[in-house]
Structure 1
Amino acid sequence: MSSTEQPLQWRIGLIGYGEVGRILAEDLRQQNIVVSAYDVKLGTAAESPLREHASRFGVTLAASVTELAVTADLIISAVTASQAMAVAADCADAIRANAWFLDFNSASPGAKIRAAESVEAAGGRYVEGAVMTSVPPHRIRVPLLLGGPHARTLEPLLKAVGFQAQVTSEKLGVASATKMCRSVMIKGLEAMVIESLTTSRAYGVEDRVLESLAETFPGIDWERQATYFFQRVIEHGRRRSEEVREVAETVREAGLTPWSSSGTAERQSWVADLADQGVFGARGEPAFARSPDWRTEADRILARIDNENSNKDRMA
């Protein structure tokens, strides 16, 4: 492909057909772009929603990463942080010469550099992408930082199909570092709010705590923000905990000990475990937005803790 590439005629392959992948698929298919997708849930008991969505929007599901890679002009990798390196390596076995590989994943700068080496060695063109806020409200137009030596060439092509892309550096790792450092704050704040308000609920002082927060940070609606944080972590805590472990690795790569980030990853993973156990409702129900009040979810957490403590007392 050359600088005269026509992105509307691309065949785009999405690796990862979760929330982000499905949103991108919908927006790309509205432009009649040919889209294929692969997800590790295909071939498992959890594949039905993916197949239903693909059928509804005209997305071709691939049987493997390599099957997807051999036909794609642009590959977008949007998987969990723990899968990011493996996906890049798998694509390197099948990527077409000069095909694009856009790495959407939340990974450390070092991980992005290693992923780029795999793709570039196989003849692909690797561009790191850092998604700078939650995808659902913005959809394909979510703010996206691009990095790497091929980023400036890819930028206008992505914009042509609706991405809100901006080159931040031709050096790999800069876009990722920007996102990871932001996540120290954002994901950390989520964990701190859940820990603080669940504890304050246990002591019956939540209203005073919220009043004090409102005085200190008057620009934040803490009731609304707290409910949003609880909801997002209940729904996406597993993926977020993996991301924050990459955040911790980013901190280590800078020479610091990631005490805060490591704690955040543990809290996010802990909430995800509770969600898997059905603490926030029946298994199979969508956890997100189940309760319009964070207190309901805090009470469910406290009830589980009380139950566990009672069981320990009986066994003592």
Structure 2
Amino acid sequence: MKRVALIGFGEVGQTLAGDLRGKVDLVAWDIAFADPTSLPSRALPSHDVRRAGSAAAAVEGADLVISAVTAAQDLDAARAAAPGLAKDAFFLDLNSCSPGQKTASAEVVESDGGRYVEAAVMSPIGPKRIASPMLLGGAHAEAFLTAAGGLGFDGAVAYSPVVGRAAATKLCRSVMIKGVEALLTESLLAARHYGVEQVVLDSLSDLLPLPDWNKTAHYMISRSLEHGTRRAEEMREAARTVEEAGVPAPMSHAIAERQAWAADHRAALSPDLIAMLDAVIARLERK
């Protein structure tokens, strides 16, 4: 592979750009490039990446297109890029969206001659970056691994020839992981009000043994505060995934609301509640 197009230049796009630098010719497009003060626009000068004027222009001549946009923009990104795809170019969809959304994006890409590969990134992108564990899906998953050898996708495995199963695996797991984050936030805020948070955490160790519930709670609450907006969006896709299976998803919708609440709590909550949450985190850090 000689040319790679990045559709979306947020955290994931920038991380991949750093890892692919010097290996391929890189071009990027992001809807935020329209605003020169946006984070993607400001990040461009520090990366060896050419800026394209549109998604279709970015993917022209690319051997690999990587879609790393928000879940809500997944299908729109595929539609915007597909007309410019070279025949048999790989389209790697990293976005955390439902199996139904992945299938719709695959149909768009395949109808324009591209080879669609879904990817479910099964860990935060930061620690292992491009080598993060990924479940790949679709008829072209194995061919992609062969073609992308040397680019650094060392944690990727061909998981299923059926598009959507990788997404279902990740998002069904997200119901549990993001749900525990939301429950801990809600539980410990209330427990802090009553002055019983440490007793609650100690009792959790008896019921659900973990090496360190204090550390776990601190990590999970902090993740919600730092990435709640993105996690809320992922949980909306998790809810869509559950509903596509014919199962009502009130819990998943509630988790999405709590994650969104955590992300913007400093602007939305009273000073007393802000201080309460900060105190919970501070006490957990000292344990």
Match among 163, 168, 177 for residue 172 of structure 1: 163
Which residue of structure 1 lines up, in the alignment, with residue 29 of structure 2?
38
Which residue of structure 2 lines up, in the alignment, with residue 310 of structure 1?
none
Match among 136, 139, 152 for residue 146 of structure 1: 136
Which deviations, in whole Å up to 9, do the C-alpha atoms of 1:26-76 show, x marking residues without a partner?
0111x43211222222122542x4344332231112222122121321111
Match among 38, 41, 64 for residue 74 of structure 1: 64
Match among 87, 97, 110 for residue 120 of structure 1: 110
Secondary structure of the residue aligned to 2:135 is strand
The question of whether the paired residues in 1 share the 8 Å contact of 2:67 and 2:93 is answered with: yes
Secondary structure of the residue aligned to 2:31 is coil
Pairing 1:192–2:217 present = no
Which deviations, in whole Å up to 9, do the C-alpha atoms of 1:209-259 show, x marking residues without a partner?
011112223324222222222222222211111111111111011111012
Which residue of structure 1 lines up, in the alignment, with residue 11 of structure 2?
19
Which deviations, in whole Å up to 9, do the C-alpha atoms of 1:164-198 show, x marking residues without a partner?
21011111111111111111111111111111111
Q: Distance in 2 between matches of 1:217 and 1:207?
A: 15
Which residue of structure 1 lines up, in the alignment, with residue 281 of structure 2?
294
Match among 85, 89, 109 for residue 99 of structure 2: 109
The question of whether the paired residues in 1 share the 8 Å contact of 2:23 and 2:151 is answered with: no
Which deviations, in whole Å up to 9, do the C-alpha atoms of 1:145-182 show, x marking residues without a partner?
11101111112233421112101111111111111111
Q: Distance in 2 between matches of 1:26 and 1:156?
A: 22
The question of whether the paired residues in 1 share the 8 Å contact of 2:232 and 2:260 is answered with: yes
Pairing 1:88–2:78 present = yes
Pairing 1:264–2:251 present = no
Which residue of structure 2 lines up, in the alignment, with residue 300 of structure 1?
none
User: Greater shift after overlay, 213-222 or 177-186?
Assistant: 213-222
Secondary structure of the residue aligned to 1:41 is helix
The question of whether the paired residues in 2 share the 8 Å contact of 1:159 and 1:165 is answered with: no
Q: Distance in 2 between matches of 1:131 and 1:292?
A: 33
Q: Distance in 1 between matches of 2:177 and 2:193?
A: 24
Secondary structure of the residue aligned to 1:42 is helix
The question of whether the paired residues in 1 share the 8 Å contact of 2:59 and 2:81 is answered with: yes
Which deviations, in whole Å up to 9, do the C-alpha atoms of 1:108-161 show, x marking residues without a partner?
111111110000001111011110111101111100011101111112233421
Which deviations, in whole Å up to 9, do the C-alpha atoms of 1:3-27 show, x marking residues without a partner?
xxxx3xx211111111111111101
Which deviations, in whole Å up to 9, do the C-alpha atoms of 1:251-290 show, x marking residues without a partner?
0111110121111011111122325x28699xxxxxxxxx
Secondary structure of the residue aligned to 2:148 is helix
Compute the displacement of 1:93 (Å).
2.1
Q: Supply the AA of the counterpart residue of 2:94.
A: F
Q: Supply the AA of the counterpart residue of 1:141.
A: A
The structure-2 alpha-carbon separation of the partners of 1:249 and 1:292, relative to structure 1 and needing over 3 Å to count, comes to same
Q: Distance in 2 between matches of 1:278 and 1:25?
A: 35
Q: Distance in 1 between matches of 2:283 and 2:199?
A: 18
Secondary structure of the residue aligned to 2:33 is coil
Which residue of structure 2 lines up, in the alignment, with residue 286 of structure 1?
none
Pairing 1:237–2:224 present = no
**Structure 2 spans left out of the alignment, 5+ residues:** 272-277
Q: Supply the AA of the counterpart residue of 2:17.
A: A
The structure-2 alpha-carbon separation of the partners of 1:203 and 1:139, relative to structure 1 and needing over 3 Å to count, comes to same
The structure-2 alpha-carbon separation of the partners of 1:270 and 1:71, relative to structure 1 and needing over 3 Å to count, comes to same
Q: Supply the AA of the counterpart residue of 2:224.
A: V
The question of whether the paired residues in 2 share the 8 Å contact of 1:227 and 1:292 is answered with: no
Q: TM-score if structure 1 supplies the norm length?
A: 0.82
CA RMSD of aligned residues (A): 2.2
Which deviations, in whole Å up to 9, do the C-alpha atoms of 1:69-97 show, x marking residues without a partner?
21321111111111001001111222121
The structure-2 alpha-carbon separation of the partners of 1:162 and 1:200, relative to structure 1 and needing over 3 Å to count, comes to same
**Structure 1 spans left out of the alignment, 5+ residues:** 1-6, 282-290, 298-316
